[in-house]
């Protein structure tokens, strides 16, 4: 993730964006895997038998039916069943769709939500952690900008809805989700979440926690963020606003967007908060 200074001075990304061909292959793979998961075992076996018969008929016994050949043949049959579009036709619609997906309003977010000013700083495969059910729309927006997104919520229904929409919008290739209760810290099985570039927090997950547990959870999320990383506190909870959590971020700097500040003064709407983790101090030994 680029810093605001790097965006102004350099004006280009350090990593190359995904090509349309990469997006197309991911789209095809997601549709094929989704179809396999939607049918029963018997139907999948019949599909395998059909693929084996076609291979034997076309190769005339010249090749051994390896597992790789079988998988490729099954995938081609599924593509035919689903009538998946060839690359050129798919690309015409994809370019328009992805342009829309990269706008906050496409996901029901405010045009100048707390994430808007950060979008130019995102790079392909930046890691993002989204915590809380009411932060779900931000997962789509971040994934549309090619970030690797992990979504965590305590509500199974919410997680399933996010997974379903991610698949429907062809955004699921760099997305993972988990259902877990949040108390003092994230569970041990999420220990791989380290060096995160951006954390988006729905403060509602803190509402039922004691002050001590609340501080422990926020501290845990801070520790998982890389030096110079970003925490976005959303205005999703009336009981706990972003301002109320500011004291839990000693040493962190607050990113100010003058345009959002003026709008907040005019409209008197609750605004989110963007906080930047201090970078590591240089070794002076």
- Dump pLDDT digits (tens) for 189-207: 999 999 999 999 999 999 9
What is the pLDDT at residue 11? 53
Residue with tokens 């609340």: 214
Architecture per CATH, domain 109-276, reads as 3-Layer(aba) Sandwich (3.40)
What is the three-class DSSP state of 122? coil
Q: For the chain, how big is the Rg over CA atoms in Å?
A: 23
The first and second tokens of residue 228, run together, are 């110079």
Are 147 and 120 in contact by the 8 Å Cβ rule? The answer is: no
Among 32, 4, 233, 204, residue whose Cα is nearest residue 122: 4
Q: At what angle do helices 20-38 and 67-82 cross, to 10 degrees?
A: 90
Where in the chain do CATH 3.40.50.150 domains reside? 109-276
Nearby residues of 141 by Cβ (< 8 Å), 6 or more positions away: 101, 102, 104, 106, 107, 109, 115, 119
Query: Quick one: how far is CA 22 from the chain centroid?
Result: 17
The angle at the Cα of 208, spanning 206 to 213, to the nearest 5 degrees, equals 60
The pTM assigned to this predicted structure is 0.78
Low-confidence ranges of the chain (pLDDT < 50): 265, 282, 284-285
Distance CA 214, CA 208 (A): 9
Residue 84 burial (C-beta neighbours within 10 Å; 0-12, 13-18, 19+): middle
Among 227, 231, 177, 228, residue whose Cα is nearest residue 201: 231
What is the pLDDT at residue 280? 67
What is the pLDDT at residue 142? 96
What is the pLDDT at residue 252? 95
What is the pLDDT at residue 268? 55
């Amino acid at each position: 993730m680029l810093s605001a200074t790097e965006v102004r001075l350099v004006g280009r990304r350090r990593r190359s964006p995904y090509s349309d061909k990469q997006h197309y292959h991911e789209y095809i793979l997601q549709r094929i895997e989704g179809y396999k998961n939607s049918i029963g075992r018997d139907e999948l076996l019949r599909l395998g038998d059909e693929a084996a018969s076609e291979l034997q008929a076309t190769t005339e016994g010249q090749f051994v039916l390896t597992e790789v050949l079988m998988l490729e043949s099954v995938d081609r049959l599924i593509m035919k069943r689903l009538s998946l579009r060839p690359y050129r036709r798919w690309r015409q619609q994809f370019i328009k769709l992805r342009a829309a997906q990269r706008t906050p309003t496409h996901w029901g977010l405010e045009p100048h939500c707390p994430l808007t000013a950060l979008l130019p700083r995102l790079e392909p495969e930046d890691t993002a952690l989204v915590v809380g059910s009411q932060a779900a729309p931000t997962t789509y927006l971040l994934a549309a900008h090619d970030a690797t997104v992990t979504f965590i919520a305590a509500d199974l229904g919410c997680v399933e809805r996010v997974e379903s929409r991610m698949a429907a919008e062809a955004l699921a290739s760099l997305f993972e989700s988990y259902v877990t209760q949040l108390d003092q810290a994230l569970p041990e099985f999420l220990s791989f979440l380290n060096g995160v570039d951006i954390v988006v927090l729905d403060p509602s997950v803190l509402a039922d926690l004691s002050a001590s547990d609340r501080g422990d959870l926020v501290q845990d999320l801070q520790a998982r963020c890389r030096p110079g990383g970003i925490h976005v506190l959303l205005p999703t909870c009336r009981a706990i606003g972003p301002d109320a959590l500011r004291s839990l971020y000693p040493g962190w700097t607050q990113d100010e967007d003058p345009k959002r500040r003026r709008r907040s003064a005019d409209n008197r709407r609750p605004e989110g908060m963007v906080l930047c983790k201090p970078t590591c101090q240089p070794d002076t030994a």
